[in-house]
Amino acid sequence: MGFRSLKDLEIKGHRVFLRADLNVPIKDGVIKDATRIRETLPTLKYLLEGGASVVMCSHMGRPEGIGFEQAYSMAPVAAWLKENGFDAKLASGVVGEAVEAEAKALQPGQVLLLENLRFEKGETKNKPEFCQALARLADTYVNDAFGSAHRAHASVAGMVCDFPKDRTAAGFLMERELTALGKVLHHPEKPLVAVMGGAKVSDKIDLIRRFIGMADAILIGGAMSYTLLKAQGIAIGKSLCEEDKIELAKELLQEAAAKGTRLLLPLDHVTATEIKPEAECTITQDQTIADGQMGLDIGPETVAIFAQEIRAAKTIVWNGPMGVFEMDCFAAGTLAIADEMAEAADKGCFVVVGGGDSVSAANKAGVTSRMSHVSTGGGASLEFLSGLELPGVVALGQ
């Protein structure tokens, strides 16, 4: 994969700059879901137990980049680390002489958590002087923030070149992501089936193109399927449709046919006149959606056909729900497909779930723990699977 693993590093007595994803939901100063912190703990513990001290950092939300903003402070994360047994303290800022002194004072086994990186405009602008200021805080660089790897920001990409090549590595979470997603892209066991959903074809053009010619079948549900159906001249009522992407949809259908990838669209739909939890639902008789109705989930015939493909697969990648699964009346299709994928994983199929909505759907179906790999990086996993280069990954490989 072209990156160094954490286990390739000599860490005893070193001070490690650990870029993590600690962008957790906080309300009234209290962390509501610490999943992202927990995901990076194996890396943090390995470093500390190996005799390193750690300068840890992350962004949090979207501050203006003009200095300290209490609502976006990393203080609750520092408190969480302390409560969970870590010898951790919050730095007085992000960079500068005072922070450098705090970093130098660290003893092996101690953690200094920097304030929110985005308090400084240099983070998102990837300014060289800010990169250098961050790099002065440590002698070793480890990136465990796969969810931010698609951003060309200072802490993710820009500062990495300020460390010797043999002093940079991917953390355990980053390595797990790159290995699992890389397996799908570079040496999947066939048949390979891609299950795609979500609102817009335009969001998934690169992803669809990447899997055309590579996947044996692409199963498309969700609102993006209505643009593709309309491109075939099928009536879609008042379903969501990207009118300006009809020609592109025709191209994708032709491309799939030419390259031998079966592109399967819904054969029936769950429809309603409006998106409301109490909406009166109808199941269509075929692919056609009546005037005044909108498609909001795949129907039972589609579930059956998609399930057949999933059961025959040896590798599956899932990105995007089959409908408005957040409402129970439109969730049956997505949950049924999630169950089928969990069954496939139980039988040895390699099943990768990527993208925030897919992860939420897997959680709702109660099958997350049964999947082979659940990606933590929404936009990053989408871009990586689409074959795009991620700045954070490229930097680690240089």
Strands 140-143 and 217-220: unpaired
The residue with tokens 């593709």 is: 228
The pLDDT, as a whole number, for residue 355 is: 75
Of 4, 15, 19, 36, which residue is the catalytic one?
36
CB-based burial of residue 56 (10 Å sphere; 0-12 exposed, 13-18 middle, 19+ buried)?
buried
Q: How far apart are CA 320 and CA 244, in angstroms?
A: 21
pLDDT of residue 203: 85
In sequence order, what are the residues at sequence separation of 6 or more whose Cβ sits closer than 8 angstroms to the Cβ of residue 83? Answer: none
**First and final C-alpha spacing in the chain:** 12
Residue 182 φ then ψ, to 5°: -65, -35
In sequence order, what DSSP letters do the residues of 356-392 get, joined into one string? HHHHHHHHHHT-GGGSSEE-S-HHHHHHHHTTPPPHH
- What pLDDT sits at residue 311? 98
pLDDT for 377 equals 83
Measured on CA atoms in the order 98, 103, 104, 109, is the torsion positive or negative?
positive
Task: Please say if 151 is a catalytic residue.
Answer: no
Per the annotation, the verdict on 237 as an active-site residue is no
Choose the catalytic residue: 65, 96, 109, 356. Answer: 356
Q: How far apart are CA 297 and CA 238, in angstroms?
A: 14
pLDDT at position 342: 98
Fold classification of 188-385 (topology level): Rossmann fold (3.40.50)
Radius of gyration (C-alpha) of the chain in whole angstroms: 23
- 6-171: what fold? Rossmann fold (3.40.50)
Q: What's the rounded Cα separation, in Å, for the pair 124 and 102?
A: 24
Place of tokens 């590798």: 315
Strands 192-196 and 217-220: parallel
pLDDT at residue number 379: 84
Cβ neighbours around 21 below 10 Å, total: 24
Check residue 1 and give its pLDDT.
57
Instruction: Confirm whether 6-171 and 188-385 share one CATH topology.
Output: yes
Residues of the chain with pLDDT under 70: 1
- Indicate if 356 belongs to the active site: yes
Domain ranges of the chain: 6-171, 188-385
Q: Which of 82, 125, 127, 200 is catalytic?
A: 200
pLDDT digit string (tens) for 346-372? 999 999 998 778 989 999 999 999 999
